[in-house]
Structures are given as structure tokens and as C-alpha cells.
Structure 1
Amino acid sequence: MGEFWPVPDVLAYLTGRWRTERSVRDLASGDDGRFEGTTVFETCEDGGLRGHESGTFTWRGVTRPAERTLRYAPDGAAPGAVQVRFADGRPFHDLDLTSGRHVADHLCAADLYRGEFTVRDRGSWRTVWRVGGPAKDLVLTTDYTRED
């Protein structure tokens, strides 16, 4: 990817409704999956955002409903940076989009999640998570396109 689109205020950038398309590739088995749905980022009472993703996930020929919620809290350092947390408040990763690109790590048991976030323009951004360890060998690529 060449140029990145700097984001001076990540919460303002994310706020709204995004079409969400994710491919999941299991490098060990060769299986492919796909999530299709929407992510809605809404302001919370603490000044951060609640990001709720909902749609369908197809894996090994079976399609099921899928959803998750993440919290995006200002980290105090700059408006371009936030702390991302799971719905129950556990830390997930930091996110700083002031340059338009960010790399974050998350250790989950013995598996390492390494995410690369890239902003293309006002209406599209991407995450690529590479997950490796004794239990997982995955690549998850998610494209977000603004709907509103």
C-alpha cells in the first residue's frame, strides 16, 4: 500500500456506520471464511466510542450470525490515538492513526495477534491481523467502507 491518509481525530473519523467485509484464512488448514455486515461507531458517555459489528460469518460452508462490540477510549495523549478494549473492559490494543498507519500487538494466551491498520481516505480503512502461535495460524483482512 502506498499513501496513507492521516487522521488527526480518530474518534471523529470512526463515528458513523461502516460496511464491513472480512476474509479469514487459516494458513494451516487452507480453510477460508468470510464475514459480511456493518460496524456502527456510536459515542459513549465517557467520550469514547462503542463499535458494534454485526452480520454473518461463513466458515466451512456454514453461515451463522456473528457480532462483537469493542470500546474505543481516548488515551489522553492526542486525539489521533485511542485505547481499544473488549466489551468487558479488558485491554485489546492501542490505535494511533495520526500518520494513517498503525501496527499493534495483542497477546492472547500463547497466540500473538499483530494488527496493521491503514487509512486510505475519508471513507475507507483496512485492518490486517496476522495471528500466530500454537493454537492459530490465521490472516484476517477487514475492509471498512463508510455508509453514511
Structure 2
Amino acid sequence: MSPDREADVTAGGFRPVPDVLAHLAGRWHVERTVRDLASGDEGRFEGTTEFSPLEGGGLLHFESGSFVWQGVPRPAERTLRFLPGSRPGTADVRFADGRPFHDLDLGTGRHVTDHPCSADLYRGEFTVRDADRWRTVWRVRGPAKDLVLVTDYVRAGGS
């Protein structure tokens, strides 16, 4: 790691991001594992995520690739909207239809947030390792769900 990058990393090993939207803009390679802790099943997603500008501000997040579950590959995609948050440098993440998903503040390089969904609770942890790598870990618990989703993002053309 260069001295410049070392200076940007917190004691916890995370890289502070003063402006989430500026940091995420562009194309990322994505690898995700999905583990069902109740059944022991594991799936894997590989693809890309593109964060492109939205008219009026914010970013459109479009993810596409292949998801393999129980040995069966299938195409998968999702769309989210990352809008400017209530504080400078933060984001308000919304589903494609505009429903609220979660807040996102990477000012310290790490953020934990919750998303209640019916009887389930999604708890997300976002961490930034450097300018070109970040990770999300979602722990999903509910009457019918006991999942861990780990997603690694590497900037296209990055390290």
C-alpha cells in the first residue's frame, strides 16, 4: 500500500469515503455468496454493477450477472437508486420503485444499517478497503429466513 493510501485508512482498516456517490460512480465487478444457515445451501452470483448518473442527482445502480443456486445457473439482475442523503456525502438507497431501502454513510469507511422487511430483519454492514474495493455483508433473520449474503466489489480497471 502506498504511503498516501495508508494515511487514508482508519485504525480499523477501513478507508473513509467523504462522498458516497462520487466514490461509487462507475463500473464494478461483483462476486456474492449466499448462505442459507438453516439448510446449509450456498449460492453464488457473479456479474457487474454499473452506477450511472440519474437525472436530477444520484446514481442508478444496475446489477446483472449469473446466480447459481443448488447447481442451477440463472440470469439475475436488480436495480436500485442511490439518491443524495440528508447529510452531505451520504446516500439514501431506494428500490427501483422508490420504496426506501437503507441509508448509507461511509464517512468512516464502515456503516451498519437495518432494513425491516415484513417479519424479517436485514442488517447490512458496508466496508471500504481502498479506492477500488468494498464489501457488503447482509445478515437476514426472520421466521422463514436465516441467510448471510457477502458481496465483494472491485472497480473495473482497478486493483
Give the TM bin, normalised by the shorter chain: over 0.9
- Matched residue, 1:28: 38
Of 54, 57, 63, 2:64 maps to 54
| 1:109-129 superposed Cα distances (whole Å, 9 cap, x missing partner) | 100000000000000000000
| 1:34-78 superposed Cα distances (whole Å, 9 cap, x missing partner) | 000000000101210000000000000100000000000001311
- Determine whether 1:73 maps to 2:83: yes
Within a 5 Å distance, the mapping from 1:37-48 to structure 2 comes to 37-48=47-58
Of 121, 125, 146, 1:137 maps to 146
- Matched residue, 2:118: 109
Task: Please tell me whether Structure 1 or Structure 2 has the larger radius of gyration of its CA atoms.
Answer: 2
Q: 1: distance between equivalents of 2:86 and 2:127?
A: 22
Q: 2: distance between equivalents of 1:46 and 1:66?
A: 28
The percent identity for this pair of structures is 70
Of 12, 16, 28, 1:18 maps to 28
Give the 4+ runs in structure 1 shifted more than 2 A.
none
Of 128, 133, 151, 1:124 maps to 133
State the AA in 2 paired with 1:24.
V
Which structure 2 residue ranges, 5 or more long, are not aligned?
A: 1-10
Task: Give the total of aligned pairs.
Answer: 147
Q: 2: distance between equivalents of 1:74 and 1:59?
A: 34
- Matched residue, 1:98: 107
1:131 Cα deviation from its structure 2 partner: 0.2
Q: 1: distance between equivalents of 2:155 and 2:82?
A: 18
TM-score, structure 1 normalization: 0.97
Q: 1: distance between equivalents of 2:12 and 2:19?
A: 22
Cα RMSD after superposing both structures:
1.1
Q: 1: distance between equivalents of 2:27 and 2:56?
A: 20
1:2 Cα deviation from its structure 2 partner: 3.7
Q: 1: distance between equivalents of 2:84 and 2:12?
A: 28
State the AA in 2 paired with 1:84.
V
